[in-house]
Structure 1
């Protein structure tokens, strides 16, 4: 098939974007969002809407770069063509050494949380982290030695994650029973939080994360100039509807106080309320498979990113890293690098959670916040190239809102972690700059 063939219509483009955007974050970030808003359901809905706003205008802005480029590779390719090769290397280093591994680690840890719930294990941070380690090693092994099995598991998990989201939303519409009684002492008190509700935005950004991948299908969509802006608007709005239905369904069934008291365990309790003693186990099984599907998808990216960077000469020892094993069709050196980086981030995550450095947040949210900082340079490029200045301006505004919310969530440690991400980005930039000079 010709690589330039346009074989996706508007409907297919929308469904693909929805599939890309709906992740596992909503299952374990909904209570965080409610907590940061002081238990205010209306403010929580507003935060979800702001998140969708950032995604829509970010998507449409980047799609304008995709329409101007013949290169594949998503955001990395946009940096390379429209900014510079050193900037692309900096972004790639950030993805290899911070973004992919930190998110993979956190989602694996969440899978550990749900595993302890499912099997009635003592939910200590140490056990959850140990289970996360097991999942990481399993999926690295699975995806390195069997591309087909990794792909099949991804398809199954995509279906699984939609069942509880849509099911809870539909049940919530018709739910009339009174909410359960909660204890007087809550983890997060219900109060007026002022502008502090913006601290919930990193958690929302996590729930919508992955949206930049949606622009990569632009080249294959018929009449992309017309259809992609429509698809990139309707797709996130449909995801917003699904997320709000799930969130409001939970609120209708158990109430905000109950969610704040039981946190990640809420969905298990809802399962028991709806379907009896085995109901919690049933719903947790669906969610665990969905979360593990996200781990699997992230590991797919983690394994391939160093290989893609090495082919461009953007990493030290690129000649070695780009050598591919004929049986696995992957680079052994890239796999080793990816595993070592991920395990390092697992240790960092454990320490931040153990000592409460991030005030209820986690390292993945910081990586996502920093990614929004990097997108601003691409939005500025679109602003210069495009006659329509409104969309890139709104994209920039959305990024600034997310970044501001991240800093508000923890003014002490978030800036330090953002600085660490900046250093990683600069190292990649400087390495490529030096490599160009040697050439």
Structure 2
């Protein structure tokens, strides 16, 4: 009986994820398409300054790690399926938790899956397929992976572990060879090379925003914390190990690109619309072998990232349904696999809609902006939880100043994003307005049901 309790949570989730599995969840989702094309956006946002671009990657990773440390305290003390939904509902109000879930459902989750699938297919077949063909292939890939993940968390985690190992090997080879064989001396000063029409602080803020999308996904480990073995120890370790390693990896990968490609070549490639600088750099370094190596790395990286982005979100919708602010069907687990299958079905449909109607760059900003808002609120839940639940055992406790440093940085980024990209910012804020309407609709339904039961 005790062994069974260790394998299945009180809500029926299967505990199949160990420490390496937790690292694979974070690394598998985070190290995806972003590492291959977002460096181009970061460079453009900071006026083609390679020094500023690397600074943005370091700051983006540092901010993610600070946020991750806060999430580690919450996840270790309260290992609940749905992560943010539970934290925000308990710390502030069920409306706030529900709004996070609605924004994930309406924007972040489908936009992430759509962006990664489009980037993967474009990287593989961009020169031979039309935009329509790319979108059709992206949809087929999303549907196939969603079906696979419906067969249980064990299979999902196995695929995540394999893709994690498979993409790290060629990525590390590229970085090592580039560091020693690259013969360009990049200008790492913070001087702007091309005017972008904004001030330096605003440029850096946009560059950090773009880099943050590449780090996006580390919060997903808290969504599956109820499916982790010994989350009190493994969840904080997984977050710290993953985000530290990923920051180093991203910074070195972009530095290697600058070591191989002169800035004038990079500028010309970006002007021609070629965002995949890593592919070009590796081909210049190793010829056809480099093309094969980077293609393999890209396929495994994006595939694992897409798998993680499809696998974890239905747990959010499950938590929403358990809070009774989402249709009941989302809160039902398949008795054989312990998976919220209905959530996968609807999530897939939403991702298909985003594939059809959005560009890759729009998807990037949409995901980053909504994540900033709710990640900040979740981090603010740390001191609130300490006051509301002072007696709860906290296996990991984050240093309090980290909470407020993270919050200050996030508020600055949110303000600059609204000021510089009002279109996508207001789309994200519009989703929150829709979320308020949805929440009070379910509140109305609950009151109606209670009134009916009383009468």
Matched, 1:284 2:295: yes
Deviation at 1:261? Answer: 3.1
Contact 1:59 1:214 in 2 (8 A): no
Contact 2:111 2:367 in 1 (8 A): yes
TM-aligned CA distance change 1:116 to 1:52, over 3 Å = same
Structure 2 SS opposite 1:362: helix
Q: For 1:271 and 1:102, locate their aligned partners in 2 and report how far apart those are by CA, in whole Å.
A: 29
Matched residue, 1:264: 275
Matched residue, 2:111: 102
Q: 2:165 aligns with which of 159, 162, 165?
A: 159
Deviations 1:200-223 (A, max 9, x none): 222211111122234575996698
Contact 1:86 1:428 in 2 (8 A): no
Contact 2:28 2:308 in 1 (8 A): no
Q: 1:429 aligns with which of 435, 439, 442?
A: 439
Structure 1 SS opposite 2:325: coil
Q: For 1:279 and 1:76, locate their aligned partners in 2 and report how far apart those are by CA, in whole Å.
A: 44
Structure 2 SS opposite 1:211: coil
Alignment length (residue pairs): 415
Matched residue, 1:420: 430
My pick for the range that moved more, 25-34 or 294-303, is 294-303
Contact 1:172 1:252 in 2 (8 A): yes
Matched, 1:309 2:328: no
Residues 193-232 of structure 1 aligned to structure 2 (within 5 Å): 194-195=200-201, 196-214=203-221
Matched residue, 2:194: 190
Q: For 1:281 and 1:36, locate their aligned partners in 2 and report how far apart those are by CA, in whole Å.
A: 30
Q: For 1:325 and 1:150, locate their aligned partners in 2 and report how far apart those are by CA, in whole Å.
A: 15
Matched, 1:395 2:406: yes
My pick for the range that moved more, 392-401 or 246-255, is 392-401
Contact 2:56 2:211 in 1 (8 A): yes
Matched residue, 1:370: 370
Deviations 1:33-53 (A, max 9, x none): 111111111101111122123
Contact 2:225 2:231 in 1 (8 A): no
Q: For 2:383 and 2:319, locate their aligned partners in 1 and report how far apart those are by CA, in whole Å.
A: 29
Deviation at 1:256? Answer: 3.3
Matched residue, 1:92: 101
Matched residue, 1:341: 350
Deviation at 1:428? Answer: 4.2
Say what the alpha-carbon RMSD is for the aligned residues: 3.7
My pick for the range that moved more, 384-393 or 269-278, is 384-393
Matched residue, 1:252: 259
Q: For 2:213 and 2:320, locate their aligned partners in 1 and report how far apart those are by CA, in whole Å.
A: 25
Matched residue, 1:33: 42
Matched residue, 1:380: 380
Matched, 1:49 2:53: no
Deviations 1:182-240 (A, max 9, x none): xxxxxx9734762223212222111111222345759966985xx98787556423321
TM-score for the superposition, normalised by structure 1 = 0.80
Matched residue, 1:121: 128
Contact 1:139 1:299 in 2 (8 A): yes
Deviations 1:27-77 (A, max 9, x none): 221111111111111101111122123212212223333354364432222
TM-score for the superposition, normalised by structure 2 = 0.78
Contact 1:90 1:427 in 2 (8 A): no
Q: For 1:28 and 1:134, locate their aligned partners in 2 and report how far apart those are by CA, in whole Å.
A: 22
TM-aligned CA distance change 1:297 to 1:167, over 3 Å = same
Q: For 1:379 and 1:341, locate their aligned partners in 2 and report how far apart those are by CA, in whole Å.
A: 28
Contact 2:81 2:315 in 1 (8 A): no
Residue ranges of structure 2 left out of the alignment (5+ in a row): 10-16, 187-191, 388-398, 451-455
Q: For 2:332 and 2:231, locate their aligned partners in 1 and report how far apart those are by CA, in whole Å.
A: 36
Deviation at 1:139? Answer: 1.7
Contact 1:200 1:409 in 2 (8 A): no
Contact 1:108 1:132 in 2 (8 A): yes
Contact 1:89 1:429 in 2 (8 A): yes
Residues 315-326 of structure 1 aligned to structure 2 (within 5 Å): 315-316=326-327, 318=328, 320-323=329-332
Deviations 1:57-116 (A, max 9, x none): 212223333354364432222123222333222222222222111110011110121121
